[in-house]
Structure 1
């Protein structure tokens, strides 16, 4: 009689990548690892229509979130206020000077949070398209950041130069709400790419072979 007769050996022999050589009754069978692994089933490819719909969802989400966060940005940022002196000079206090870059700071914080959220949604919807999912995540976060910037600027006071030029003594003139360092947009794109890179690096690969269960590692 040739082949595994012990229940554990029979169970292991049914696993891909294992075959037995020898007499299981007299000399004992020897497990031999082979290369005939069965690959794990891969996820189905996205059709063109389904891909376009999901890209549309990402674009709509980026636009909607960018507009909402623009309102949040406007409400959160304490704007520096200048007071017009009788001699025509515009002065501000130390708090005003400290708040001068508050718009950029809040823009970066909100951008990281929103970018991470968009990156997670992008990975969930489009991870089957491969590496282009990274571009989609970055572009979605960039679109959201630009719209946030635009909405905040429209809601806040603009044309600081013209307003301060016509201001009367004793009048308080807030600066405009804008991003003074365009590099702050990088925070949005960085947030978008972080979840994609983490998942692609740490998540199990769907195309890897099934793990081999050897008989001596059986639970009994």
Structure 2
């Protein structure tokens, strides 16, 4: 190569002129994404307590029709006035007691499943610990209300028959709950379903179903954690100067 054709070296102290037009006219990509996906507001403690109380009260009120349904489906127990022996079951192998407990357990489990899914869909903006506590206390209250309402159906007539019946009279005793552990079924089913729905949700805030992971986080923090990343709006660095020619002997 002819030495006369070599490019002239850059003089020290001279900075070449470059186009300073920013590469992103609307800001860096991280700022644009953060502007498009703002973080939802945090839930206040008052809102958390109100949601928990509302869910508990709603489930407790729903226990009344559930108790009526249980009283209608559960079989009555045939009894007889045995005179001196009192009132005894008029069946050598009674299954009505077990059937009443089984109907209460099945109805409570199904109601807990449906109630948890319905509450999860309706209270999207209030998902979290308040919802779990609400279905827990509400499930317990619902079971107690359903039991008391169901056993009250026909209870006055049953008490009247015990006072006025004679020896040899038969009657169909209204159903009652003998296994009180069944009162935990509604709350158990509701808590399990709520926990599974929260675990299957791909959004950390549990607000928007189907949202991509990371919604609600400040995306600008990721850019600040990498100081070695070049600023897209800054002008490119000038090239290094040509090395000095070696001395010719």
Q: Shorter-chain TM-score: what band?
A: 0.5 to 0.7
Q: Deviations over 1:127-163 (max 9, x none)?
A: 6453342221111111111100110111133697995
Q: Which has the higher helix share?
A: 1
Structure 2 residue matching 1:177: 3-state secondary structure: coil
**Is structure 2 residue 206 aligned with structure 1 residue 209?**
no
| 2:77–2:175 contact (8 Å) kept in structure 1 | no
Unmatched 5+ stretches in structure 2: 1-27, 206-212, 216-249
| Correspondence for 1:59 | 56
Relative to structure 1, is the Cα distance of residues 91 and 194 closer, same or farther in structure 2, using a 3 angstrom cutoff?
closer
Deviations 1:150-178 (A, max 9, x none): 10111133697995575313311333432
CA apart distance, 1:73? 0.9
Q: Is the 8 A contact 1:138 1:190 kept in 2?
A: yes
- The aligned runs of 1:94-173 (5 Å cut-off) are 97-124=94-121, 125=123, 128=126, 130-157=128-155, 164=162, 167-173=165-171
| Secondary structure, counterpart of 2:155 in structure 1 | coil
Q: CA deviation at 1:194?
A: 2.0
- Distance in 2 between the 1:58 and 1:135 partners? 9
Q: Is the 8 A contact 2:115 2:190 kept in 1?
A: yes
Aligned counterparts of 1:193 and 1:42: Cα–Cα separation in 2 = 28
1:62–1:84: structure 2 CA closer, same or farther, 3 Å change rule? Answer: same
TM-score between the two structures when normalised by the length of structure 1: 0.64
Whole-angstrom CA distance in 1 between matches of 2:131 and 2:29: 35
Q: SS of 2:109's equivalent?
A: helix
- Structure with greater Cα Rg: 2
How far the C-alpha of 1:201 sits from its partner, in A, is 1.0
Preserved CA contact (<8 Å) 1:70 1:152: yes
Instruction: Calculate the TM-score normalised by the size of structure 2.
Output: 0.58
Distance in 1 separating the partners of 2:89 and 2:148: 28
**Aligned counterparts of 1:195 and 1:61: Cα–Cα separation in 2:** 18
Separation in 2 of the partners of 1:203 and 1:84?
Answer: 59
Q: Distance in 2 between matches of 1:118 and 1:53?
A: 18
Q: 1:188 deviation in Å? A: 0.9
Unaligned 5+ segments in structure 1 are: 1-13, 17-36, 211-220
The aligned residue for residue 69 of structure 2 is 72
Q: Which residue of 1 aligns with 2:185?
A: 187
**Where does residue 198 of structure 1 map in the other structure?**
196
Give the 3 Å change call, closer, same or farther, for CA 194–115 of structure 1 in structure 2: same
Higher relative contact order (CA 8 A, sep 6+): 2
Counterpart pick for 1:84 among 77, 81, 90: 81
Give how far 1:105 is off: 0.7
Q: 1:114 offset after TM fit, Å?
A: 1.4
